[in-house]
């Protein structure tokens, strides 16, 4: 009888489900009594079983089976009218959604199995998400018991979860081997519990080490390193998996490797763990092309190649790097990368404001401005959009919420976007972090004319103004400025509270600040990042070489946040100078940097190189003659070539990352574009002038190869070219044009080796 | 009234009264359920393999095209009168002569409405099925979600060397791939097919280059391109993809079928005249040729529908030719047996204000932006001809009967193309995103 007493209280006087018309109360009770006894009997359960707690027992089931995931009930509008908080971060909301909403149909204490909460996932009723677990599973029993026990929100004195641990936390595996992980939850009362079956698992490198929903890791066939995450509630534990190559390499091989600077040691350490050996050092011709395209964004001129290949000094490579870093083109090229991330659409924000912003970014690179100073000036920018380009950031991102995500993502690698609306699904960030970080921008004042697209031409001023409170969207509480982690100086008494943020961001103790930029520059030079995506730093996305990332960040910080120094140290490392051609041990290495990873050249690099080698300058609307594509102030400037090879859609909000993929449209453009064909055959261009020069066939071949491929032709190529030039009736100009066309259409031109 | 008697004498309501409704209804629900159980499987309603989207940029008036209000006061009705269509009780505006006569071949939706009354936002909403995430201005070109064309290109692909998504003569606003990546951007054919020297950019050899010289260059290239290829796929050598795309590009240039698709000069003068000897008419003809070559999605961008002033003068000259080109396209596809596998859709970002207005400084009246009502022409791919879905009120202020959203519209297009609108895509940040947030297609058109 106590069963009925326990549950009677859960029925509102008029049970509102249309399936169960109102009945006189006593009858309801008797019906329920019978049904309940029946249900208890059939399920072999009784309410006297161990108490089930909503947070500790029920929510983990919902998370484990994906009920509250993004594509299902966890999305902002729910699914089929039933909405849960994403991954169960809001227990109150989930409880109310299950118990109080849905007109009582979601949980039906009378007959637990008639509850939608059970009937849907067990397949008893049609369910868009299919059968998630069988009716006779332990999970179904858990839900059944909880419903039977009266659906308590919280059991009195229920312990709270304090943390989880994974066992083992690191493992060395052989290819195709398996390893079971165990997740142990730790509670406030000191108790622990095996929650492996309720945890969810995710691998950072699924092809190397996959993990199934039960926590069983299966190593792939390739050597490598991976991190496997176990998640239970909001806690995450990581197991590091190492799968070394199976044919061991002698230790002496590693000891004998060159160490130009600290970078090499860290990479060799990683390669030794994997039992992989690096490729050979690349030759000088490959190096000058690689370093020149990476540092100043175009291929080297024929003269630059001539000089470098004639240089016999041992330090010729590092002197080349120094020369490149002194070249003004360095600034335009690196600014060209940062404008992708910062520069907004002039149709929205205004031509003059965006032009000034572009100039500010560009000039900062010309001035070799230390990175901390760049970021400080940007996030504390004040003044007129007509005088200080940096304030355009605030003209574009007008609300604290809009600027928060950009600052956190670009400068500390924390993607807070998710946390604006819900708890970050893979991380510790919640709405409280988002909005207290946003509060640093609560006092940005503005005056003047705001946005009025498509012209937005007016001047606007930004300054430290009066506070417009930033409110937590759920609690409505006014948020006080707080950094994402660590300590920031108090904002008390500051004229501009953004100064506190800038100090926190650029503090030598803020390792992420230095590491995020170091990782970006590393990725630009090395093709693949230590962390990828480059600005997504989190425990669940570990770096491929943590020691190296830390050392790079420290070096960058200790150099006074000098970007040229960061480029210099990377380019001078032996690792940067490795050949892309694999050896027997490293063909499959994708993240260890045991060889140079090739990539398709960036659109601007290709276009400016084409202009240079054909001798035909580009013409861009509203830019002075001889402007190159790295100098364009907006992606709105028309260029079929740049569109074809990929640049940010000018309509997309920055930050925009580019994809370096090849497409058929690119091939067609290289092959048939009237414009390119015209550049090769232009009567003012190189081919014509070169054809008129009195050179031998050998001299011609060498000059052409150095000009287009930055290297000398080998014997076979020399024979080919001289044969063509010396053939009977050969038209020298036509042969040169055809050769140039063929070379421009080759992988060797488009792809950095 | 949204239900009209079709030419076979059976109304939809009639079929429900006959007891078929329950059967049909169950079938639909069961079909959708099957689809939900197998989230990536095509819907049984999938009939089309290609789509021609005629994008009337600027927002065409619904009054002067497909939804006239002859009984409204003059300041709403406008200067044009209405004419009967082949479906009794349904009238079009007076310039839609040929389309009115052939309404049996297509359907009209008169009841889509949304809340984005400026060009930038309206374009985005109708082109992608997703409202813009932040307030967007009129002149804005924005992209927060992949366009229908890019999604079709990705989902339906293309294996005969032709790009899967064409846009002529330019990309429509918000017509890009967003997070799907540049390989799904439209292939833009900027040149005017009505010009005697028309050819498609980059697909034909440069003008001054002879075919012999191209062949010898290609041979030369195979000797010059000697960078070592790392064949093991695990090595991720980008030169392998480069080779693959180069091969495809070369196939396209040398493929007789592909070149024929672009060779509008291969059409008889009679056929070219039928479509109308203007840029728009010839683009419709080129779109049909691309459909024949197997291209899944073609946008014919048709700008200049933003008639804030001189609405009647401008439309008097424009509409007859437009009506002729679009009706010819539908007829021609039908005659070739392609209409069942080809969707033809014509719309813009919104309708226009019911009350005629004359802006200060203007002498001729026009209508302004109005997202509460718009008309959409929907043909082919098994769309029941003669169907008119929904209705606006007496003065054309608002869709009132069977009110539908841009999401319903875009879901219908996807469903017809065999793409599940409820599919979950993942952004590069790993964020799951539904292809369309409300995946309910317009059942009357299936």
Domain ranges of chain A: 2-148, 161-243, 284-326+511-597, 370-506, 603-752
Name which of B31, B6, B42, B25 is nearest B419 in CA terms.
Answer: B42
Distance (Å, whole) CA A271 – CA A263: 13
Banded pLDDT at B189 (limits 50, 70, 90): confident
Contact of B337 with chain A, judged by CB distance below 8 Å, is answered with no
Residues of A in contact with B229 (CB under 8 A): 747
Neighbours of A179 (CB within 10 A): 18
Distance (Å, whole) CA B92 – CA B102: 11
Are B412 and B442 in contact, with CB atoms under 8 Å apart?
A: yes
Residues of B in contact with A349 (CB under 8 A): none
Q: Are B225 and A657 an interchain contact pair (Cβ–Cβ within 8 Å)?
A: no
What value does the mean pLDDT take over residues B148-160? 88
* Portion 232-251 of B in contact with A at CB < 8 A: 232, 234-239, 241-243, 245-246, 248-250
Banded pLDDT at A325 (limits 50, 70, 90): very high
Contact of A719 with chain B, judged by CB distance below 8 Å, is answered with no
Residue of chain B whose Cα is closest to the Cα of A451: B137
Q: Are B201 and A128 an interchain contact pair (Cβ–Cβ within 8 Å)?
A: no
For A155-197, what is each residue's pLDDT tens digit?
A: 888 899 999 999 999 999 999 999 999 999 999 999 999 999 8
- Percentage, residues of chain A above pLDDT 90: 70
Which fold is adopted by the domain A161-243? Immunoglobulin-like (2.60.40)
Contact of A674 with chain B, judged by CB distance below 8 Å, is answered with yes
Flag whether pLDDT at B186 surpasses 90.
no
Going by the DSSP 8-state scheme, the letter that residue A260 receives in this structure is: S
Flag whether pLDDT at A18 surpasses 50.
no
For A221-256, what is each residue's pLDDT tens digit?
A: 888 888 998 988 878 899 999 999 999 999 999 999
Distance (Å, whole) CA B61 – CA A523: 51
Name which of B139, B225, B222, B124 is nearest B175 in CA terms.
Answer: B124
What value does the mean pLDDT take over residues B251-280? 90
- Residues in contact with A200: Cβ distance below 8 Å, sequence separation at least 6, in sequence order: A63, A64, A213, A230, A231, A232
What value does the mean pLDDT take over residues A338-351? 93
Going by the DSSP 8-state scheme, the letter that residue A402 receives in this structure is: H
Residues of A in contact with B202 (CB under 8 A): 665, 668-669, 671-673
Contact of B212 with chain A, judged by CB distance below 8 Å, is answered with no
Name which of A211, A248, A244, A205 is nearest A227 in CA terms.
Answer: A205
For A427-470, what is each residue's pLDDT tens digit?
A: 778 888 999 999 999 999 999 999 887 788 999 999 999 999 99
Position B137 scores a pLDDT of 67
Q: What is the DSSP string of B134-198?
A: S---TT----SS--HHHHHHHHH---SSS-SEEEESSPPTT-S-GGG-GGGS-EE--S-TTSTT-
* Portion 319-358 of A in contact with B at CB < 8 A: 345, 347-348
Distance (Å, whole) CA B134 – CA A632: 27
Instruction: Tell me how close the Cα of B1 comes to any Cα of chain A, in angstroms.
Output: 30
Q: Are B206 and A674 an interchain contact pair (Cβ–Cβ within 8 Å)?
A: yes
Q: Is the peptide bond before A154 cis (omega within 30 degrees of 0)?
A: no
Position B159 scores a pLDDT of 67
Kindly report the average pLDDT of chain B as a whole number. 86
Q: Is B181 left (phi over 0), alpha (psi -120 to 50) or beta?
A: left
Residue in the block written with tokens 């000009």? A707
SS3 A192: strand
Contact of A664 with chain B, judged by CB distance below 8 Å, is answered with yes
Q: Out of B173, B232, B238, whose CB is closest to A600?
A: B238
Distance (Å, whole) CA B3 – CA B260: 43
Contact of B228 with chain A, judged by CB distance below 8 Å, is answered with yes
For B25-40, what is each residue's pLDDT tens digit?
A: 333 333 333 333 344 5
Going by the DSSP 8-state scheme, the letter that residue B206 receives in this structure is: P
Flag whether pLDDT at A286 surpasses 90.
yes
Q: Are A536 and B236 an interchain contact pair (Cβ–Cβ within 8 Å)?
A: no
Q: Are B245 and A599 an interchain contact pair (Cβ–Cβ within 8 Å)?
A: no
Contact of A280 with chain B, judged by CB distance below 8 Å, is answered with no
Distance (Å, whole) CA A293 – CA A598: 12
Distance (Å, whole) CA B402 – CA B1: 10
Would you list the domain boundaries of chain B? 39-201+277-445
The listed range with the strongest mean pLDDT (A225-234, A443-452, A564-573, B433-442) is: A564-573
Flag whether pLDDT at A4 surpasses 80.
no
Position A31 scores a pLDDT of 44
For A608-636, what is each residue's pLDDT tens digit?
A: 999 999 999 999 998 999 999 999 999 99
Position A5 scores a pLDDT of 35
Residues of A in contact with B171 (CB under 8 A): none
Banded pLDDT at B401 (limits 50, 70, 90): very high
Q: Out of A418, A582, A663, whose CB is closest to B235?
A: A582
Task: Kindly report which listed range (A317-321, A433-437, B250-254, B424-428) carries the lowest average pLDDT score.
Answer: B424-428
Banded pLDDT at B14 (limits 50, 70, 90): very low
For B309-326, what is each residue's pLDDT tens digit?
A: 999 999 999 999 999 999
Distance (Å, whole) CA B250 – CA A672: 10
Position B429 scores a pLDDT of 59
- Residues in contact with B251: Cβ distance below 8 Å, sequence separation at least 6, in sequence order: B161, B258
Contact of A301 with chain B, judged by CB distance below 8 Å, is answered with no
Q: Are A741 and B137 an interchain contact pair (Cβ–Cβ within 8 Å)?
A: no
Residues of A in contact with B183 (CB under 8 A): 661, 663
Flag whether pLDDT at B15 surpasses 50.
no
Q: What is the DSSP string of B226-242?
A: -PPP---GGG--HHHHH
Flag whether pLDDT at A116 surpasses 80.
yes
Pairing of strands A224-232, A383-384: unpaired
- Structure-token pair, residue A548: 């190296």
Going by the DSSP 8-state scheme, the letter that residue B105 receives in this structure is: G
Are A548 and A212 in contact, with CB atoms under 8 Å apart?
A: no
- Percentage, residues of chain A above pLDDT 70: 93
For B232-257, what is each residue's pLDDT tens digit?
A: 877 889 998 899 889 878 888 887 77
SS3 A633: coil
Q: Out of B120, B230, B249, whose CB is closest to A667?
A: B249
Its CATH architecture, for the domain B39-201+277-445, is 3-Layer(aba) Sandwich (3.40)
Distance (Å, whole) CA A278 – CA A265: 12
Are A466 and A443 in contact, with CB atoms under 8 Å apart?
A: yes
Q: Out of A664, A677, A742, whose CB is closest to B220?
A: A742
Pairing of strands A182-187, A192-194: antiparallel
* Portion 150-189 of B in contact with A at CB < 8 A: 161, 163, 173-174, 176, 178, 181-183, 185, 187
Flag whether pLDDT at A32 surpasses 60.
no
Contact of A671 with chain B, judged by CB distance below 8 Å, is answered with yes
Cβ contacts below 8 Å, chain A against chain B, sum to 189
Position B66 scores a pLDDT of 98
- Structure-token pair, residue A114: 């008639």
């Amino acid at each position: 009888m106590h069963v009925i007493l326990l549950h009677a209280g859960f029925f509102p006087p008029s049970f509102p489900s249309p399936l169960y018309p109102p009945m006189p109360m006593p009858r309801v009770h008797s019906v329920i009594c019978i049904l309940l006894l029946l249900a208890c009997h059939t399920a072999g359960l009784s309410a006297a079983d161990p108490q089930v707690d909503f947070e500790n027992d029920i929510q983990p089931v919902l998370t484990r089976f994906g009920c509250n995931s993004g594509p299902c009930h966890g999305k902002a509008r729910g699914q089929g009218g039933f909405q849960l908080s994403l991954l169960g971060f809001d227990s109150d909301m989930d409880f109310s959604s299950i118990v109080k909403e849905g007109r009582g149909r979601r949980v039906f204490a009378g007959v637990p199995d008639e509850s939608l909460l059970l009937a849907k996932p067990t397949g008893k009723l049609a369910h868009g998400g299919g059968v998630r677990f069988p009716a006779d599973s332990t999970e179904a029993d858990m839900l059944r018991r909880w419903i039977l026990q009266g659906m308590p929100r919280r059991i009195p004195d229920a312990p709270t979860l304090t943390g989880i641990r994974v066992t083992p936390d690191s493992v060395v595996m052989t290819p195709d081997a398996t390893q079971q992980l165990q997740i142990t939850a730790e509670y406030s009362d000191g108790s622990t519990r095996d929650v492996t079956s309720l945890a969810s698992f995710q691998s950072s490198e699924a092809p190397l080490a996959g993990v199934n929903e039960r926590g069983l890791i299966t190593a792939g066939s390739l050597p490598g390193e991976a991190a496997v995450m176990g998640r239970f509630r909001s806690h995450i534990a990581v197991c590091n998996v190492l799968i070394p190559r199976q044919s061991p390499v002698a230790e002496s091989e590693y000891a004998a490797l060159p160490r130009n600077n600290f970078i090499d040691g860290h990479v060799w350490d990683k390669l030794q763990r994997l039992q992989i050996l690096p490729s050979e050092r690349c030759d000088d011709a490959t190096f000058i092309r690689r370093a020149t395209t990476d540092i100043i964004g175009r291929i080297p001129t024929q003269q630059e190649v001539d000089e470098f290949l004639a240089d016999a000094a041992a330090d010729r490579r590092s002197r080349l790097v120094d020369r490149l870093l002194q070249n003004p083109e360095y600034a335009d090229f690196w600014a060209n990368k940062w404008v992708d991330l910062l520069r907004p659409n002039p149709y929205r924000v205004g031509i003059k404001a965006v032009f000034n912003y572009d100039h500010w970014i560009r000039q900062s690179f010309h001035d070799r401005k230390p990175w901390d100073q760049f970021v400080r000036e940007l996030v504390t920018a004040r003044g007129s959009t007509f005088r200080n380009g940096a304030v355009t950031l605030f003209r574009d991102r007008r609300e604290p919420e809009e600027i928060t995500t950009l600052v956190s993502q670009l400068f500390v690698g924390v993607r807070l976007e998710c946390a604006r609306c819900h708890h970050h699904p893979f991380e510790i960030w919640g709405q409280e972090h988002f909005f207290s970080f946003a509060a640093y921008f609560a006092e940005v004042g503005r005056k003047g004319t705001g946005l009025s697209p498509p012209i937005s031409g007016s001047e606007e001023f930004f300054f430290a103004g009066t506070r417009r409170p930033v409110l937590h969207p759920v609690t409505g509480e006014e948020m006080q400025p707080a950094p994402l982690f660590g300590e920031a100086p108090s904002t008390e008494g500051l004229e501009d509270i953004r100064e506190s943020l800038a100090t926190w961001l650029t503090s030598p103790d803020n390792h992420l600040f230095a590491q995020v930029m170091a990782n970006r520059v590393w990725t630009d030079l090395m093709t693949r990042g230590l962390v990828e995506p480059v600005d997504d730093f989190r425990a669940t996305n570990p770096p491929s070489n943590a020691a190296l990332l830390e050392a790079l960040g420290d070096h960058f910080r200790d150099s006074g946040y000098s970007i040229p120094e960061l480029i210099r140290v990377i380019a001078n490392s032996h690792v940067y100078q490795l050949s892309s051609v694999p050896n027997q041990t490293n063909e499959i290495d994708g993240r260890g940097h045991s060889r140079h990873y090739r990539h398709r050249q960036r659109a601007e690099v290709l276009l400016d190189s084409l202009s240079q080698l054909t001798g035909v300058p580009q013409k861009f609307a509203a830019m002075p003659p001889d402007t190159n594509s790295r100098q364009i102030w907006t992606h709105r400037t028309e260029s079929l070539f740049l569109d074809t090879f990929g640049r940010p859609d000018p309509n997309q909000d920055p930050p925009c990352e580019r994809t370096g993929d090849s497409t058929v449209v690119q091939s067609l453009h290289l092959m048939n574009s009237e414009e390119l064909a015209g550049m090769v055959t232009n009567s003012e261009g190189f081919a014509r002038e070169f054809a008129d020069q009195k050179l031998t066939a050998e001299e011609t071949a060498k000059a052409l190869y150095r000009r287009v491929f930055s290297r000398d032709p080998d014997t076979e190529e020399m024979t080919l070219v001289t044969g063509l030039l010396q053939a009977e009736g050969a038209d020298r100009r036509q042969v040169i044009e055809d050769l140039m066309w063929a070379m421009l259409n080759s992988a060797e031109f488009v792809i950095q080796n | 009234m949204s239900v009209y008697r079709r030419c076979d004498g059976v109304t939809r309501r009639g079929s429900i009264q006959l007891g078929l409704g329950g059967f049909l209804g169950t079938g639909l629900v069961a079909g959708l359920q099957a689809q939900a159980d197998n989230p990536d499987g095509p819907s049984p309603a999938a009939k089309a393999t290609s789509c021609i989207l005629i994008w009337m940029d600027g927002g065409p008036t619904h009054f002067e095209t497909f939804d006239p209000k002859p009984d409204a006061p003059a300041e709403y009705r406008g200067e044009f009168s209405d004419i009967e269509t082949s479906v009794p009780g349904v009238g079009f505006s007076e310039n839609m002569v040929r389309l009115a006569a052939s309404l049996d071949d297509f359907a009209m939706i008169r009841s889509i409405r949304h809340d984005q009354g400026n060009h930038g936002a309206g374009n985005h909403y109708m082109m992608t099925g997703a409202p813009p995430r932040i307030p967007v201005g009129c002149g804005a070109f924005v992209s927060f979600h992949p366009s229908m064309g890019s999604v079709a290109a990705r989902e339906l692909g293309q294996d005969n060397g032709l790009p899967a998504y064409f846009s002529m003569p330019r990309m429509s606003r918000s017509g890009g791939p967003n997070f799907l990546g540049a390989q799904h951007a439209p292939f833009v054919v900027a040149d005017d097919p009505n010009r005697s020297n028309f050819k498609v950019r980059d697909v034909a050899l440069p003008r001054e280059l002879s075919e012999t010289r191209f062949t010898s260059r290609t041979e030369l290239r195979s000797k010059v391109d000697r960078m070592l290829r790392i064949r093991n796929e695990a090595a991720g050598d980008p030169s392998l993809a480069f080779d693959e795309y180069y091969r495809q590009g070369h196939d396209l240039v040398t493929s007789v079928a592909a070149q024929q698709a672009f060779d509008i000069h291969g059409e008889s003068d009679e056929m070219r005249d039928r479509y109308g000897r203007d840029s728009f008419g010839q683009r419709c003809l080129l779109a049909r040729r691309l459909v024949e070559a197997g291209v899944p999605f073609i946008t014919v961008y048709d700008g200049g529908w933003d008639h804030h002033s001189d609405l009647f003068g401008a439309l008097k000259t424009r509409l007859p030719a437009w009506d002729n080109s679009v009706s010819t396209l539908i007829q021609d596809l039908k005659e070739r047996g392609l209409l069942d596998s080809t969707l033809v859709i014509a719309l813009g970002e919104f309708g226009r204000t019911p009350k005629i207005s004359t802006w200060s400084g203007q002498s001729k009246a026009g209508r302004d932006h109005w997202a509460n009502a718009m008309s959409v022409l929907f043909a082919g791919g098994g769309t029941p001809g003669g169907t008119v879905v929904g209705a606006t009120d007496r003065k054309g202020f608002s869709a009132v009967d069977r009110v539908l959203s841009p999401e319903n519209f875009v879901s219908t297009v996807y469903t017809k193309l065999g793409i599940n609108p409820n599919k979950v895509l993942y952004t590069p940040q790993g964020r799951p995103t539904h292809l369309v947030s409300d995946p309910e297609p317009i059942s009357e058109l299936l």
